[in-house]
Structure 1
Amino acid sequence: MPCTGQREREMTAVVELEAGGAKLGLMPDVGGSIAFWRCGEMDLLRPVSDPHLIAQHGRAVAGYPLVPFSNRVAGDHFRFEGVDYHLAPSFGGENCAIHGNGWQRRWGLDRLANSSATLTLDHAPTRDLMGQWPFSYRAQLRYDLRENGLSIGILLENTDTRDQPVGMGFHPYFPRHAGLKLGFAASSVWTNGPDHLPALRVPVEGEWSFAHMRDAGQEPIDNCYAGWSGSAFLRWPREGYALTVEGSPELRHLVLFTPPGQPYIGLEPVSNMTDGFNRPIIADSGVRVLAPGQKMEGHIRMTVTRC
């Protein structure tokens, strides 16, 4: 039987992809997450150890998939087709389920090449896993590394015998070097209540607007933008790098997370608004209902340039 140290090393094994001078590290056993992404001398993603994400057990990740939903579910509860469902809290310090359960699980390494990898996850709501998600699904995650960029594809299939509500997205952490510039366009943004849940939808104006690239600043933002154009831009002037983030039409919400005093920001292309399962009257909540056998997919492309 392997000792504890050996088991820990096996759990955190990193699969490395290469394309020219770019390198990507993946951790299938840690939620299918990214361990690092480097292009030349620049770390384009920042590994973060978040103690609130209980299932990561303190391991640092630079990005991870959000399936079968993004962000919080209020009170760990939602009602769907006349049935009440209760989820297990997964975010420390809050009575809250967050970001689905894909990030909490080990993914299988289905295909591996020098510059690409395909990971899979089959979830069934067994007694132990019912609290994570009460429906069966199959998820596929594909990473394609290029010398000047990274593409991420997410596929979600309803393998249950019932309809189920779903969402998806990806949560990258970007380095917050001094002078980081950020720009994107969206039509509206949800302000938050004290519980970090959507309270009021307002136009993207004034301090909420990043329509013209500006300093990311140190102001705390943890909000979901709706009507995202599908493109966002980051620029690190002192390092001489810029990054374009593009999301496919299924991903038309963007979560901006700028925790004060931290060396990173989150910029998350996602399909559904925060707590979308409990907001059925909002036409563009982004929540999809998949019939048995039906699939949903989303794609994210990040392109690196020198500036």
Structure 2
Amino acid sequence: MPPCCHRRVRAAAAPALQAPTPPPRMPMGGARPGKQAASRALLQRRPEPMLELNCGSNHVVLDPVQGGGIRQWRHGGHDVLQPCRFMSGVAFPAAGPSAPLSACPILPFGGLLAEGRFSFAGQEYVLGKGAHAHLLHGSSWARPWTVAHRMERQAIFVLDHDPAAADNASEWPFAYRGVVEYVLHDWGLAVTVVIENRDRAEQPVGLGFLACPKTGPHARLSLNAHSAWTKDAQALPAEEVACTDIWDFRHGQSLEGRVLDVCFTGFGGRAELENTYARSPQAFVFEADPVFTHLSVERFQEEVEREGEAKGGGSLELFASTAMPDALNRPGVAGGGMHVLAPGARLGGNLRLKLSEHAHRRPCRP
């Protein structure tokens, strides 16, 4: 492949998950008796329904109205995830007043897009800006999705983007369909994310999945990658460095006192966070298919400052993606990862969010 971030896809390049025609939204009943009071309050907060998935000690609350993401994941009665920081203070008209999601699919591009603009096929596009100087993580996380399928421990959401409708062109100038599937297991959560080009022209795309696991006061992170992109003062990629010394996480590194804002490229498909928040499982494992060649890791100064508190802990943002941040504006970067989809072509992959404490439990019923 030439040293260019654009990979042209003319046939379906996605898992076997099909994007069904969305049926009418299924009615949602109340929370099951015996579930945590916090989950019941969360479900009753808005008139629009959230969906529950249950399997053994795992209880997940999904929010199709805001971003098709995960509102809450509790294991044995304790939170596994924490609300994503970048969504704080953002208004979601479709969802009404709500807290940030704890995990969600990201498309049609991930990371920052410099000044909200890019050029493709000789045309320059300027997208609407959010609260920051640059556009972050596309718009799928702020859009309402449609419930296409739902069972006890499985749900499929669909997002159809039509640039001709309302102000959609300011979000993304091409038509696409996004699909996300969640399947809850005793070991954790399986996720599939797919994007399909529904436009009559080629379009550049990127996709990924963002999760914010809670961390304990002595957390360690391990992962394997080829190199790392450091960030400049505007949080855009500045320099690609080899994964040596401080960027070598193969055998794990402590997160104590450490602020992180980095994108790993050549991601080996597995990141493990040891010593998660007290009383939750001792390890959170984030696995992704080879199509997710990049892993962005963020840990903010506020999280480091919390280490001195009595309870300690905090959170980490893990974002597995098919492309580096601002890949749309960096076509000359080898391994940048932006894909170009022909009309009707798809791109997608599977992820697995695993918990360490599951071996002694019986598998859930299909």
Letter paired with 2:202? D
**Which shifted more, 27-36 or 202-211?**
202-211
Provide the residue aligned with 1:285 in structure 2: 336
Pairing partner for 1:62 from 102, 126, 130: 102
Aligned length, in residue pairs = 298
Structure 1 residue 101 and structure 2 residue 152: aligned? Answer: no
Q: CA deviation at 1:180?
A: 1.6
Q: Is the 8 A contact 1:121 1:139 kept in 2?
A: yes
Change (3 A) 1:48 1:71: closer
Higher percent of residues as strand? 1
Provide the residue aligned with 1:253 in structure 2: 294
Max Rg structure: 2
Structure 1 residue 300 and structure 2 residue 340: aligned? Answer: no
Q: Is the 8 A contact 1:39 1:148 kept in 2?
A: no
Pairing partner for 2:158 from 120, 145, 151: 120
Q: CA deviation at 1:75?
A: 1.1
Provide the residue aligned with 2:252 in structure 1: 213
Letter paired with 2:116? D
Provide the residue aligned with 1:203 in structure 2: 242
Provide the residue aligned with 1:51 in structure 2: 88
Matches within 5 A, 1:164-183: 164-183=203-222
Provide the residue aligned with 1:3 in structure 2: none
**Which shifted more, 111-120 or 242-251?**
242-251
For residues 306 and 111 of structure 1, the distance between their equivalents in structure 2, rounded to whole angstroms, comes to 29
For residues 258 and 111 of structure 1, the distance between their equivalents in structure 2, rounded to whole angstroms, comes to 35
For residues 326 and 267 of structure 2, the distance between their equivalents in structure 1, rounded to whole angstroms, comes to 18
- What SS does the aligned partner of 2:53 have? strand
Structure 1 residue 142 and structure 2 residue 176: aligned? Answer: no
Change (3 A) 1:25 1:297: same
Structure 1 residue 152 and structure 2 residue 191: aligned? Answer: yes
Structure 1 residue 31 and structure 2 residue 70: aligned? Answer: no
Q: CA deviation at 1:8?
A: 7.2
Structure 1 residue 111 and structure 2 residue 136: aligned? Answer: no
Which TM-score applies when normalising by structure 2? 0.78
> Relative contact order (alpha carbons < 8 A, sep ≥ 6): 1 or 2 greater?
2
Q: Is the 8 A contact 2:187 2:357 kept in 1?
A: no
Letter paired with 1:234? L
Provide the residue aligned with 1:242 in structure 2: 283
For residues 100 and 218 of structure 1, the distance between their equivalents in structure 2, rounded to whole angstroms, comes to 31
Pairing partner for 2:56 from 20, 27, 32: 20
Q: CA deviation at 1:302?
A: 1.6
Letter paired with 1:303? K
For residues 257 and 67 of structure 1, the distance between their equivalents in structure 2, rounded to whole angstroms, comes to 19
Flag structure 1 segments of 5+ consecutive residues without an equivalent: 1-6
Provide the residue aligned with 1:4 in structure 2: none
For residues 75 and 50 of structure 2, the distance between their equivalents in structure 1, rounded to whole angstroms, comes to 17
